[in-house]
A and B are shown apart, each in its own frame.
Chain A
Amino acid sequence: MNTAIEIRNLQFRYPDGKEALSGVSFSIADGECVGLVGPNGSGKSTLLLHLNGILPEAYPATPNIIIYGKSLSKDTAADIRRDVGLLFQDPDDQLFCPTVFEDVAFGPQQFGLDEEQVRNVVAKALEQTALLGSENRSPHHLSSGEKRRVCLAGVLACEPRVLALDEPTSNLDPRGKRSLIKTLKSIPATKIIATHDLEMVVELCSRTIVLDQGTIIADGPTHQLLGDEQLMLAHGLEKPHILRHIHPH
Chain B
Amino acid sequence: MRHDFLDRYSRLDSPIHRLPTIVKLLGALGVVTASVSVSFTHPWFFVMVAGLLLILSAFTTIPWRFIFGRLVLLEPFALGIALMALLQENGGMLFLAILVKSTLCLLTVILLSNTTPFASLLQTMKRLGVPRLLVTILALMYRYLFVLIDEAERLNRARASRTFSASRTKKWHMLASLIGQLFVRSTERAERIYAAMTARGWK
Direct A/B contact, Cβ within 8 angstroms: yes
B52 within 8 A of A: no
CB-based contact B189/A139 at 8 Å:
no
- Which residue of chain B is the closest to A54 with respect to CB atoms? B195
A107-B201 contact in complex given A92-B147, A141-B1, A141-B4, C-beta closer than 8 Å: yes
In the bound complex, how far is the Cα of B198 from the Cα of A49, in angstroms?
11
* Partner among B4, B7, B139, B196 whose Cβ is within 8 Å of the Cβ of A93: B196
Task: List 7 A-B pairs, minimum CB-CB distance, nearest first.
Answer: A110-B201, A98-B119, A107-B200, A140-B146, A93-B192, A94-B196, A86-B199
Listed in ascending order, the chain B residues whose CB lies under 8 Å from chain A are 1, 3-4, 7, 11, 117-119, 122, 139-140, 142-144, 146-147, 189, 192-193, 195-203
A140 — which chain B residues lie within 8 A by C-beta? Answer: 1, 3-4, 7, 143, 146-147
A81 — which chain B residues lie within 8 A by C-beta? Answer: 198-201
Instruction: Show 17 residue pairs from A and B whose CB-CB distance is below 8 angstroms, ordered by the A residue.
Output: A54-B199, A81-B201, A92-B147, A92-B189, A96-B144, A96-B193, A97-B143, A98-B118, A106-B200, A110-B200, A110-B203, A136-B117, A138-B7, A138-B119, A140-B1, A141-B1, A158-B201
Listed in ascending order, the chain A residues whose CB lies under 8 Å from chain B are 49, 52, 54, 78, 81-82, 85-86, 88, 90, 92-99, 102, 106-107, 110-111, 136, 138-141, 143, 154-155, 158
In the bound complex, how far is the Cα of B192 from the Cα of A69, in angstroms?
28
B11 — which chain A residues lie within 8 A by C-beta? Answer: 136
Q: In terms of DSSP, what is the predominant structure of the interface of chain B?
A: helix
* Partner among B3, B117, B143, B193 whose Cβ is within 8 Å of the Cβ of A139: B143
B146 — which chain A residues lie within 8 A by C-beta? Answer: 140
- Which residue of chain A is the closest to B121 with respect to CB atoms? A98
* Partner among A49, A139, A143, A154 whose Cβ is within 8 Å of the Cβ of B195: A49
CB-based contact B143/A88 at 8 Å:
no
- Which residue of chain A is the closest to B147 with respect to CB atoms? A92
In the bound complex, how far is the Cα of B143 from the Cα of A94, in angstroms?
11
A102 — which chain B residues lie within 8 A by C-beta? Answer: 119
- Which residue of chain B is the closest to A112 with respect to CB atoms? B201
Q: How far is the CB of B29 from chain A (nearest CB, A)?
A: 22
